[in-house]
Structure 1
C-alpha cells in the first residue's frame, strides 16, 4: 500500500513538474519594456485587432516621459504624429482642468517650451508637463485599451529566450513566467531582448571612418553647449601638483585621438522634478555616504566665476522644474556608466545607486556647502524635491536617464548622413528633427595639466526634419526574423543622438507595432513586409512621413 501511494505521489509530482514546464501565456505580439514606446506599440496592436502582452520590468510606465523629462525635446513638432501627438493632446486636455493647477494658476505659468510654446492652443497639444500627469495618461491608455501589462517582470537574459529557425518562440522572466508570441518588440532603453536573442549590436562610439562621419568618434578639442571648462581648472587635489592625486570624477586615462572609436557611453543622470512652493517641497536628502570633497571640482569652477547653476531649471506647470545637466560639472555623472549597457541586473542596480548618491550629494552640496557662493545657496534654499511627485520614492525619479546603451546593427544603419538628409530613405516610418545631441563621455587631464570634458556635441540637422528608415527597426534577417526594435534602433552613436527623443520613441513604437501586425496577417518575416502596405497603414494612423508643406 505504501509503495502504491508513493508511486501515485511520484506520478503526480512528475505530471505537476511537466505541466509547469509546459505552461505559458500567449499573444500575437509580446512587447518587452515599460517605456513610452512600449505603450504606444501596445495601443496600436489593440487598434490593429491583435492580442498583446506587455512584459515590463518597470512598475511605473512611460520611461523618461513619466520619469522627469517633462520639458519635451520636441525639435520640429510638425513631424510628431500618430499616437505620439495623441499623447501630447491628452496632456493638453489634462491641463484644461482647473483642478490640475494645484500649486499655480494657469495664468501665472509662462508657457515656455523647448523651441515651441508649452501650450499650443491651436493644435490642442501641450509639450511641457509634470511627471504624474504623464504617468496617468499612460495608465489611462492601459485602462482604455484594456492592455495586459505584467509589471516587475524581468527577462531571464541568460536562458530566457527560446529560438527556433531564426525566430523568437518565447521569452521567460526571472520569475519563471513564459510568454509565447508570433511577433516580439524590444522597447527597452537597454535592448536586453535584442541582445539575448543574439542580434548584433554596438556599444560606444564608432570611429568616424566606419560610416564616413564627422561627429561620431572621440571629439577632443570640440566644445559645444557650454558643458566644458572655460577656465583653467586644476584637476589635482593640491592645485598644480600632479603628485597629489586626481580629484573625484577625473580620469587619468588617455581620452583617445580625435575621430577614433571607443566603448564609452555618454553620461547619465536623473531628470529631477523640483518645486519652489513652500508647501510642496522636500529638502534635498543627504546621502549616507556623502563626501563633500567629491564636489571640490565644482567649488573651483565657482571660484573661477561660473554662475550658470539654474539655467536648466526648466519650468513645468505648478511651480516645478524639469532639471537637467548644465555646465562643466553638474548632474551628469561623467564616465561612471561605461559598463551599464551589458551589465547584469545586479551591477546596473549598483550603477543606479552610485548615480543617485552622486546627484543627491551634489544637490545637498549646492544647498549647504560654504564653498558654494552665498547667492547660489540662497537660491537653492528655495528649491527642493517635489513632494507630490514620485511619492513612493521620496520624490526621486524612478527612471535613470539612459541616454544611450546598446544600439542594434540591423538591416539599415542610420548615420549622420541620414540626419542631414544626404541619402534617400525609401521606407520611412517616422521622422526625427532634434539636434544631433551627445552629452559628455569623458573628463580627462589635458597635456597642459588642466581638466576638460569630452564628447558633448550639438549639431542641427542641415535640412531640417529627416526620415527614419523601417530597416533601422529590423534585425538582419539571418539573426532574427520576428523582432522589431523601436528604441535601441540601428544607428551610429551620433545619429542616435538625434533619434533618441521621447516623441520619436513613441512614433517608432507605433510604427513597429503596425509592421508586426502586417507580418502576422501576411504570415511573413518582418524584413519582408512590403513598404507599400506599411506606408498605407502608417498614413491611416496619421504618422508623418515627410516634411509638411509650408
Structure 2
C-alpha cells in the first residue's frame, strides 16, 4: 500500500512529500481505573455518544486524537447533508435545535443580512446551517453541562496499543503512554483506528458490484457524469503529443472494467469556511512551494470556456460560505489519498499537508494567475479565510474531510439493496436518507484520449431507510465489547449515503444506549436484546421507521 501510494504521488505530482512527525502531546487527565464507557474519536458521533452515556448515568471518557470536538461538524462542513429532516431524531435533532436557538438571537447574526427563512433550512424548530465556531461552542457547552470527561491530544498508539483479553478490549494506550481502561468501548473515529487495533475485520476501497448484488459499486466510469469534464480537454503537456507526458494530476493508470473492485479511495478535501465580508476576511495564503503548473489542466479547461468554479460556495450565517468541491477540477485532491486509511501517522500527516498545499495553491492560482480570466480572478479575490474561524490555525480548517477510510466487515453489511429498500434491514437503530454519494476516485485519460474523472456517483434513494444494529457491532467472536458507529459495516456505495454527520450522531447515540445495556446485562454487545434497545431508542425520540 505505501509503495503504491508513493508511486501515485510521483506520477501525479512529480514531487516527494516530506515526512511529518507524530502529533505533539499535551497535558491532561488520564483514566486511572476502568470507567463504564470509553469513546475514542471526538467526531460529532463520538460527542453525542458521550452525552447519551452520561444521560444514562454511565461514567464515560471521551478520548480525542486532537484538541477539538466535533470532527467535520466543527471543521467546515456547515451546510449539513441532511436528506429527509424527518428521519433525524434524538440527540442529533437536539443539536440542530440548539443551532436554531443560537441564531434566534439577533445579536448572533450581524455580519451580513439574514436571508429568507426558507433559505436557512429552518424547520421542526431546527436549523441545518451554521458557522463552525458556533457548532463547536454548542458541543463544548453541551459536554460540559452533561459532565463528560474529555481528554484531548491523545492519539491512539497504532503499533500494538490495544490490550485484548479473551476477545474483549481491556484498555488502549496512546502515543504518550497513557492507558485508558473501560468496560465497553466505542470507536467513533472516521478512520476506524481502534477497531483495526482490536483485530476487527475491515476493508478499504471499492467492492465489486457482484459482491453484494449492487449496481453502483466498484469502478464507475460510465456512471460518473457529475463533477465531470463537460468539454474535451487534451491531457498531455504538449497538446496532441502523448510522448510529452501527462499534465500534473492525471493518472496514467488504465481503467478497470465498470463494476470491478479496487483499493482506491474517494477524494478528500478541506471544507473551507470563506467570507466576502471585508472586515472579517484574511487574504488567501500563497503556500510554500507554490507551483502554478499543478493547475495546468484547469487552465486548459478554462481556456476552453469553463466558468463554473464557484458552484459550491454555499452561504451560511454571517457572510460566510461552506466551500465544497464542484466540477471536474476543484477542491477535491483526486487520487492523492490512497495511502491514508492504513498509513502511519507520518504518512497521514504528509497526505494532509499535500491536500493543504493543493487547495491553498488552487485558491491562490484562481485569484492571482494572469492566465485565469479577469472576472474569475476578481471574484476569487473577493473571498478570504475568516478571522473568527479556526483562529489558532490562521483561518484554515484543523481537520481534513476523510470521507471514507476503513469500513468494518461484520456479520451484516449494509449494501445498496438495503438503502434502496430492495432488501429488508434487521434491527433498525436509526435512519439515513441522503443520496448514494461518492466523490471522484481518479482522473485518467479515457479511450478517446481526453481527461476524464472516474468514481463520482450521486443517485438518490427512494425514501429514508433503516440502518441495522448489526452494522455497528463486530462479527461474533471479535471484540465483544466494541461498537463502531462511524466506520461501520457497509459497502462503499452504501457508506456513501450513510456517511453524513447527522447519521453519525444518530448512530453514536444508539451505540451508547446499546453499551449501557451490555454493561447492565454483563453480556457481549452482539447479545444485546434488540427489543430492549428499540424500546429505549423509541423513548428517546430516535426515528426508526418513516413511511415517506
The TM-score normalised by the length of structure 2 is 0.93
2:22 corresponding residue in structure 1? none
Deviations 1:320-340 (A, max 9, x none): 000000000001000000010
Instruction: Say which of 19, 29, 41 aligns to 2:49.
Output: 41
The equivalent of 1:280 in structure 2 is 280
Change in 2 beyond 3 A, CA 1:23/1:143: closer
Determine the C-alpha separation between the residues in 1 that align with 2:228 and 2:31.
Answer: 55
Distance 1:23 1:542, change over 3 A: closer
| 2: CA distance, partners of 1:172 / 1:274 | 38
| Cα drift, residue 392 of structure 1 | 0.5
Contact 2:31 2:181 in 1 (8 A): no
Listed as ranges, the matches of 1:395-406 within 5 Å are 395-406=395-406
1:83 to 83, 86, 91: 91
Unaligned runs of 5+ in 2: 1-29
Larger radius of gyration: 1
Secondary structure of 2:507 counterpart: helix
Counterparts of residues 428-443 of structure 1 (less than 5 Å): 428-443=428-443
Alignment of 1:380-419 (within 5 A): 380-419=380-419
Stretches of structure 1 lacking an aligned partner (at least 5 in a row): 1-21
Deviations 1:338-396 (A, max 9, x none): 01000001110000000000000000000001121111111112111111111010100
Task: Assess if the C-alpha contact under 8 Å between 2:219 and 2:261 holds in 1.
Answer: yes
Aligned with 2:39: secondary structure? strand
Preserved contact between residue 255 and residue 442 of structure 1 (Cα < 8 Å): no
Question: Partners of 2:182 and 2:458 in 1: how far apart?
Answer: 40
Assess, with a 3 A threshold, how the Cα gap between structure 1 residues 292 and 112 changes in structure 2: closer, same or farther.
farther
The 8 Å contact of residues 264 and 441 in structure 1, kept in 2 or not, is answered as yes
Alignment correspondent of 1:475: 474
Tell me how far apart the structure 2 counterparts of residues 84 and 179 of structure 1 sit (CA, whole Å). 27
The residue aligned with 1:487 is: 486
Q: CA deviation at 1:143?
A: 1.0
Change (3 A) 1:236 1:25: farther
* Alpha-carbon distance in 2 for matches of 1:267, 1:110: 34
Query: 2-side partners of 1:223 and 1:94: how far apart?
Result: 40
Q: Secondary structure at the match of 2:237?
A: strand
Does 2:196 match 1:188?
Answer: no
Q: Structure 1 residue 119: deviation in Å?
A: 2.1
Q: CA deviation at 1:111?
A: 4.5
TM-superposed deviation, 1:449: 1.4
The corresponding residue for 2:360 is 360
The equivalent residue for 1:16 is: none
Deviation at 1:110, TM superposition (A): 4.2
Deviation at 1:224, TM superposition (A): 3.0
What is the CA-CA distance between 1:221 and the residue it aligns to? 2.1
Query: Using the alignment, how far apart are the partners of 1:209 and 1:323 within structure 2?
Result: 36
Counterpart of 1:9? none
Residues in 1 aligned to 2:474 and 2:32: alpha-carbon distance in whole angstroms: 26
Alignment partners' CA distance in 1, 2:430 and 2:536: 12
CA distance in 2: counterparts of 1:436 and 1:292, whole angstroms: 34
- CA distance in 2 between partners of 1:253 and 1:90 (Å): 48
Residue 220 of structure 1: CA displacement? 1.4
Whole-angstrom CA distance in 2 between matches of 1:75 and 1:111: 18
Contact 2:408 2:490 in 1 (8 A): yes
2:145 corresponding residue in structure 1: 144
Alignment-derived partner of residue 461 in structure 1: 461
Task: Note if contact 2:266-2:403 (Cα within 8 Å) is conserved in structure 1.
Answer: yes
1:301 deviation in Å? 1.1
Aligned residues: 519
Q: Does 1:325 align with 2:325?
A: yes
2:282 and 2:454 map into 1 onto residues whose CA distance is 34
Q: For 1:510, what is the secondary structure of its paired residue?
A: helix
Q: Give per-residue Cα distances to partners, 1:100-123, cap 9 Å, x unaligned.
A: 1131243xx24465xxx5222xx2
Q: 1:111 to 1:440 in 2, by over 3 A?
A: farther
Q: Paired residue for 2:514?
A: 515
Deviation at 1:499, TM superposition (A): 0.0
Equivalent in the alignment of 1:119: 122
8 Å CA contact 2:31, 2:180 repeated in 1: no
RMSD: 1.2
Q: 1:230-249 to 2 correspondence within 5 Å?
A: 230-249=230-249
What SS does structure 2 have at the residue aligned with 1:193? helix
Which whole-Å CA distance do the structure 2 matches of 1:223 and 1:372 have between them? 27
- Checking the alignment, whether the CA contact within 8 Å between 1:250 and 1:445 is kept in structure 2 is yes
| 1:254 partner SS | coil
Tell me the secondary structure at the aligned position of residue 364 of structure 1: helix
Indicate conservation of the 8 Å contact 1:24/1:177, yes or no. no
Distance in 2, Cα, partners of 1:449 & 1:505: 41
Helix, strand or coil for the counterpart of 2:517? Answer: helix
Q: Which runs of 4+ in 1 moved over 4 A?
A: 110-113
Local SS of the residue matching 1:183: strand
1:29 maps to which of 32, 37, 40: 37
Q: Give distance in 2, aligned partners of 1:255 and 1:272.
A: 31
User: Aligned with 2:272: secondary structure?
Assistant: coil
> Measured at CA, do residues 382 and 181 of structure 1 come closer, stay the same or move farther in structure 2, by a change above 3 Å?
same
Question: Closer, same or farther in 2 for the Cα pair 1:490/1:173, shift >3 Å?
Answer: same
Q: What is the CA deviation profile of residues 397-440 of structure 1, one whole-angstrom value per residue up to 9, with x for unaligned ones?
A: 01100000000001310000010011122200000000000000
Distance in 2 separating the partners of 1:343 and 1:466: 33
CA deviations over 1:59-79 (Å, ceiling 9, x no partner): 111000010000000100001
1:99, distance to aligned residue in structure 2 (A): 1.9
